[in-house]
Structure 1
């Protein structure tokens, strides 16, 4: 009797299916230290209990992307172990901070299915929730993944493609309870630029670059307990190369964005995103951002910026992002659309 788990294939999913993912994870200060060692993350709210306390919080929460990576990593054995590609994200919201000592678990509901014309794979849409030890939702988002079929002759399911919002409405952004930026210390945060200093359509070159090393991305992916074979097993791809986990690129680009967006302290929504091209060890990642929208919130001194974060490789600034054929240029790695909180 086989006791190992080969993962789910496209024909194993059905609309409305709820999957409770294994292995809850308690996150502690060591997680923060490792995260800040892997990425040049310097946002003050996630670095200092004192700074966070002066902003009305009980202390420094865990980085927003730590929560994302932990919740995402739980889903991999059930959703993307047999994936061809992770295609996109939508309708993501961070609903409450994650604190050191919290235990996170994940569950996903299948909300869409569409078999590809080749009959060998299909696209699966899931809505994933990350919950803490009190069963409070800390994060939820939709993602869609192209998954291999186990049997190409298995019948295609009825096609269901969910309707997804192009962006999270600013009225639906959740500001952590008690957050107050009226006494915000711009010197300690690292830059003087506030919400009113940014204009819609502005592009910010984040200047710096980071060359990704093989050991770093594998350490990060193990940290999030992401078991996707393409990140570890060099025999899993015909070219013999380990694919960099897309979340590693997200965190690297977000950390690089500190130079120019040091006061974009907290990600509160993920409107959409695409891993445009694969990233491999040895690639040098650079980033730029575009301001897409601005909104005020009901919290004292707190505004929100909608930002487009683009990561590229090599020396390219890659703009525009697509060629005449409508496809992303090969040097574009990431195209991410998110809302962040910033002092007014």
Structure 2
């Protein structure tokens, strides 16, 4: 009897199927230190207990994207172990902060299936929830991933493509209890810019660049327990190169966005996201952002800003995204649309 698990292939998924993912993970302070070592993460709310307390929180929570990576990593053995590529995200919401000492687990429901025309792979849509030790949801999101078929001759399932919202409505964003930016310290945060200083359509060049290192990517994927073969096994791709985990690009771009968006403190919504092109060690990543929307919230002094975050590689021209054919330019790595909380 075979004891090992080869992972699920496209024909193993069924609409409505619920998957409870192993293994729960208790988050410690070391998680934050490693996250800040991997990325130039400097947002004050996640760096200082004192700054977080001045904003109404009990202490500094774990970075929102670190929590996302932990939950995401739980899903990989069941959803994307045999992936060709992770394609996109939508309808994401952070529902409550994750604190050191919390234990996170994840569960997913299959909500869409579509076989590719080649018959060799298909796209799987899942809605994933991360829960803490009290079974309280801490975040939820939809993602879709292209997965190999075990048997190319296996019959195609009925096509079901979920109808996803273009954006999470601002009124549905969940803010941490007691969050208060009334006494926000702009000097300690690093910039003076508040929500009112940003204009719709404004584009911000985040200036800095970081060259991807194989060692950092490998450490990141192991930290999040992401076991997708394309990130570890150089023989798994025809070109013999290990694909950089898309979440690594997300966190790197978000960290680079500090220069110009230092006060976009908490990520609370993920409207959409696409990994436009693959990234490999040696690529130099830069980032720019576009302001898409702004909204007020019920929390004192707290507003919400909707941002498009774009990561590119090389010395690409600033603010370029798609060509005349409507397809992403080859130097675009990431196109992410999210909501963050910012002082009014």
TM range (shorter): over 0.9
| Equivalent position SS for 2:7 | coil
**Structure 1 length-normalised TM:** 0.99
**What are the Cα deviations for residues 105-141 of structure 1, in whole angstroms up to 9, with x where unaligned?**
0000001111112211111110000000000000000
Rounded to whole Å, the distance in 1 between the matches of 2:324 and 2:184 is 45
Secondary structure, aligned partner of 1:227: coil
Check whether the contact 1:122–1:149 (CA below 8 A) recurs between aligned residues: yes
1:15-72 alpha-carbon deviations (Å, 9 max, x no partner)? 1100000111111100000000000000000000000000000000000001100000
Q: Which residue of structure 2 lines up, in the alignment, with residue 66 of structure 1?
A: 66
Whether 1:202 and 2:176 are equivalent positions in the alignment is no
Q: In the alignment, is the contact (CA less than 8 A) between 2:16 and 2:110 conserved in 1?
A: yes
Q: What is the match of residue 127 of structure 1?
A: 127
How far does the alpha carbon of each residue in 1:161-216 deviate from its partner, in whole angstroms, 9 at most, with x for none?
11100000000001100000000000000000000000000000000000111000
- Whole-angstrom distance in 1 between the partners of 2:151 and 2:284: 39
- Aligned position for 2:266: 266
TM-score where L is the length of structure 2: 0.99
Conserved? CA contact 2:7–2:77, under 8 Å = yes
Partner of 2:52: 52
Residue correspondences, number: 344
Gaps of at least 5 residues in structure 2 are none
Residue of structure 1 in register with 2:287 after alignment: 287
Please give the alpha-carbon distance, in whole angstroms, between the structure 2 residues aligned to 1:108 and 1:65.
Answer: 18
Alignment of 1:101 onto 2:101 = yes
- Tell me how far apart the structure 1 counterparts of residues 49 and 195 of structure 2 sit (CA, whole Å): 23
Q: CA deviation at 1:318?
A: 4.8
SS in 2 for 1:24: strand
Contact persistence 2:84–2:230 (CA under 8 A)? no
- After TM superposition, the runs of 4+ consecutive aligned structure 1 residues lying more than 6 A away are none
**Structure 1 residue runs without a partner (length 5+):** none
What are the within-5 Å matches in structure 2 for residues 217-232 of structure 1?
Answer: 217-232=217-232
Q: Which residue of 1 aligns with 2:27?
A: 27
- Going from structure 1 to structure 2, the CA distance change for 1:295 and 1:276 (only over 3 Å counts) comes to same
Shift in Å, 1:321: 1.0
Cα-to-partner distance string for 1:207-266 (whole Å, 9 max, x where unaligned) = 000011100000000000000111111111121111100000000000000000000000
Instruction: Name 1:15's counterpart in structure 2.
Output: 15
Q: Map of 1:240-259 to 2, 5 A cutoff?
A: 240-259=240-259
Distance across 2 between alignment mates of 1:85 and 1:93:
23
- Which residue number corresponds to residue 161 of structure 1? 161
Distance in 2 separating the partners of 1:112 and 1:310: 27
CA contact 2:87–2:146 (8 Å) conserved in 1: yes
- Provide the aligned C-alpha RMSD in A: 0.7
> Residue 80 of structure 1 corresponds to which residue in structure 2?
80
2:312 counterpart residue number? 312
